[in-house]
Amino acid sequence: MNKPLRRIAIFCGLLILTLLIRDNWLQYVEADALQNNERNRRIAIERYAQPRGDIIVDGKPITGSKETSGSDFQYKRTYTDGPMWAPVTGYASQAFGANQLESVEDDILTGNDDRLFFRNTLDMITGKEQQGGNVVTTLNTAAQKAAYEGLAERGKGAVAAIEPSTGKILALASYPSYDPSTFAGNSTTTDTKAWQKLQKKNNPDDPMLNRALRETYPPGSTFKVVTAAAALEHGLYTDADAATKTPLPWTMPGTDTELKNEGNIPCENATLRVALQYSCNTVFGKVGSDLGNDKMLETAKKFGFTSEQFTPVRSTASVFSDDMNESQTALSSIGQFNTAATPLQMAMVASAVANDGTLMKPYMVDRLQASSVDTIEQTDPEELSKPMSSENAQVLQSMMETVVSKGTGTNAQIDGVTVGGKTGTAQHGVDNSEKPYAWFISYAKLDDGSSPVAVAVVVEDEAADRGDISGGGLAAPIAKSVMEAVIKSKQ
């Protein structure tokens, strides 16, 4: 071969080699990026070429799919009682993507999960279209309805309810809410406008905020349950009915500021039981100060504070600070200063007490199903931590039951059922300039000693008179209705 032909052959060989390298690079290195690129419309068309699987509550789907017209996306998502269930389902939109369960379990719902490979292969062989699987939740329809309707009467707020023995989430409500169906398609005239109206910059009520999982509030006096647990667990006090060493007035260490109680209540040297019954700031502030930041933080962490929870939807981490001085620790120990909690977190506190000191990991997906309804994954209850000994938890139960039987939580009483609870009215805003939040956490206990439900309720009632805002008045009746709904559904 002469020299010019050899050069041409080498050049052509290099071109072929370059082409092979580029081809393999595209197929094996950039394949995922190209497949997931937002401009790759073929992927989106394929995603909406068949109905999504459903999200199931109490054996019934709360989602669906319907055919569209005038679009190359064949199916779009529909929702039953969309606003009530939005904090659970999230949304799946052709134009705006997905969030919450619709996003976390997207592979199952679209049928693209690797665990559905055998099912999909059989469907391909038989010529059947690929079908999505189902997400079966732990939610309780009656409890969710009671929570949502109770909040709707008040204006803003959230509810979380848990089965203490397993960690199953029974209700997860947030108000105001939104209907995911209104922007499930990709129309610029309807879906885009509906989406824009829901954005916080256009709607200060922020209806798309999941207040049950993603908003942290000062928990106020409901946090005194954690402080009482810390006092018992660290041996500061061992008897709920023994006098505490709490003068009245009590000045916070390192300051000239007296910690005030609400009204003329019997807080001087009050027992832990009486202090919880009347919600004595002085007693629990001094308990926190005496224990110190480290011991209070240790107990708070055991209840779940400072850690995100994945249900599998992510819940924001609740806050109890470290490196606080004695007076700051005192304020944090009554649910003020930097302390902040999600409603799910405070339901976890009540749940751990009700479950004799064992905190179960909260979860809302019971199992995942193939389109044939065969189970491909089952969630098993899992112990998250042990915040209290069973003996101390039972002491704290008796204290919380006193709160409901003859304290600030009487509005949560249920005939024939033992209820334990704690009210809270949490200050917020600069110099307490905003209307306070009304809190209530509780659990119900049946005659056989089992506890079917623990609940946390927070209410932001901007229409109420400031003097009428209290956890016992606004939040406790909602908690009662949720507990009653769960109990009736199990009968």
Q: Catalytic site residues? A: 221
Determine whether 133 is exposed, middle or buried from the number of CB atoms within 10 Å of its CB (0-12, 13-18, 19+).
buried
Residue 396, CA distances (Å) to 30, 247, 458 in order? 58, 23, 22
First to last CA, the chain: 93
Spatial distance between the Cα atoms of 149 and 391, rounded to a whole number of angstroms:
37
Do residues 100 and 88 lie in contact, with contact meaning Cβ atoms separated by under 8 Å? yes
